Amino acid sequence: MAKLGALILLGASLAFLGQTFVAIRERFITSREVEPVEPQNCHLIEKLENGSEDIDILPTGLAFISSGLKYPGLPNFAPDEPGKIFLMNLNEQSSKAQALKISDRFDKELFNPHGISTFIDKDGTVYLYVVNHPHMESTVEIFKFEEHQRSLIHLKTVKHELLKSVNDIVVVGPEQFYATRDHYLDNFFLSLLEMILDLRWTYVVFYSPREVKVVAKGFNSANGITASLDQKYIYVADIAAKNIHIMEKHENWNLTQLKVIQLDTFMDNLNVDPSTGDILGGCHPNAMKLLNYNPKDPPGSEVLRIQNVLSDKPTVSTIYANNGSVLQGTSVAAVYHGKILIGTVFHKALYCVL
C-alpha cells in the first residue's frame, strides 16, 4: 500500500511538473517576433542610459522620470549608483534630462525608485510620490517639488504592512493613493513560481492616513496603475496575465471590476493620454529575454495605445515597437502635445514626435 501511495504521489508530482512546464512555455518562453514600428522623429535621451522605469508628465509639460531601479532578477548596468529622479521640460526644443537634487534628511544612497505618481494640490503645489525599495523593502516617499531650485524636498516616508512588494502607485488625493503589490512571496524564485503558476495572490491597496485596505484582489502580478482623466476609473495592468483591468472607483475608495482587456504582451506601467483619455502602456513582448538578459539577443520593446477604453470595443494599436536594437525592456510611455517619452527598466530612453 505504501508503495502504491508513493507511486500515486510520484505520478501526481510529474503531472504537476508537466503542467508547470506547459504553463512556463505558454507564459514566458513562447516569444513573438517584434515587427518594428517607429514614429518619424525619434532620438535617444542623453544621460538616461541606465533605466527610466516610470514616467509622469505634469499638465505644464514637465516630465519626472525614475531611474536606476535595482530589482531581483532584472539587469542593472550601474549597480553601485543610487537611483535618481530626472526632470525634462517637454516645451523646450532640445529637451534635456537633468537629475533633481534631493533634500538632505533623506537617505539618497539607498534610493531605489520604482513607480512614481504626481499630485497637484489646490494651491498648485506639486508633489511627487515615489515607490522606493531601500534594502529591497517597500516604502512610499512623498516629496514636494521646488521648480526653481530643481529639487525635491522629502516630506514623509509611508510604510504599512499592506504596502509590501509595492510596484506602482497612483495618487488620487492629498496623501491618498492606490498601490499595486506585484508578488506575495518574498523570495525571488518563489515569486517567479507564483507568477508562472498563476496563483493570483497579488492585490491593489488603498492608502490614506486614516484607512488602509485591500480594494481589489485576484491578480497574478498587479503592476502598472493609473486613473482615468475624470478620476472615476482605475486601470491596473496584470503583467504576468497579459491583461489590463478596468475598475470603477467608489465613494468609499472600493474598486469593482468593469472588464478585463486581454493583450498579447506583458504590459508594465500605464499612463493616460491627457488629450484623449487613451491608455498608453509600456510592454515587454519577450519576458524571458528580460529575465534572462543576453546583450546579443536582447529583450524588445513595445508601446500600446488603447482607445475607447470604456466602450464595448476598445481598440489596441502599437505605436512603438523595436527588437532591442534601439530600446530594450520598455516599461512606460507618456505623451504631451504630440510628443512621446518612452522609458525602460534598465536601458535607454527615447523621445519622439508623433
Ligand X SMILES: *[C@@H]1O[C@H](CO)[C@@H](O)[C@H](O)[C@H]1NC(C)=O
Active site residue ranges = 114
Distance CA 308, CA 231 (A): 16
Decide whether 75 or 224 has the Cβ nearer to ligand X: 75
Is 167 annotated in some ligand binding site? yes
Q: What are phi and psi of 89, to 5 degrees?
A: -105, 110
C-alpha separations of 30 from 21, 264, 287 in Å: 12, 11, 9
Decide whether 69 or 126 has the Cβ nearer to ligand X: 69
Is 54 annotated in some ligand binding site? yes
Q: What is the largest CA-CA distance in the chain?
A: 79
- Taking the complex as a whole, the smallest distance from the CB of residue 256 to ligand X amounts, in Å, to 7
Decide whether 24 or 99 has the Cβ nearer to ligand X: 99
Is 278 annotated in some ligand binding site? no
Question: DSSP code of 193?
Answer: H
Residues in touch with ligand X (CB under 6 A): 36, 47, 49-50, 77-78, 213, 252, 254, 297, 323, 325
Decide whether 125 or 257 has the Cβ nearer to ligand X: 257
Decide whether 83 or 224 has the Cβ nearer to ligand X: 83
Q: What are phi and psi of 192, to 5 degrees?
A: -65, -45
- Taking the complex as a whole, the smallest distance from the CB of residue 246 to ligand X amounts, in Å, to 17
C-alpha separations of 180 from 83, 196, 207, 307 in Å: 21, 18, 11, 23
- Taking the complex as a whole, the smallest distance from the CB of residue 332 to ligand X amounts, in Å, to 18
Residue 327's contacts (CB-CB under 8 Å, 6 or more residues apart) are 301, 342, 344, 347, 348, 349, 350
Is 268 annotated in some ligand binding site? yes
| Range list of H helices, 164-232 | 188-196
Is 261 annotated in some ligand binding site? no
156 bridge partner residues = 142
Type and span of the H or E element at 10: helix 2-24
- Taking the complex as a whole, the smallest distance from the CB of residue 148 to ligand X amounts, in Å, to 25
Is 123 annotated in some ligand binding site? no
Closest CA to 267 of 248, 245, 240: 240
- Taking the complex as a whole, the smallest distance from the CB of residue 49 to ligand X amounts, in Å, to 4
Q: What are phi and psi of 322, to 5 degrees?
A: -150, 145
Binding site residue list: 53-54, 116, 167-168, 223, 268-269
Binding site residue list for Ca(2+): 53-54, 116, 167-168, 223, 268-269
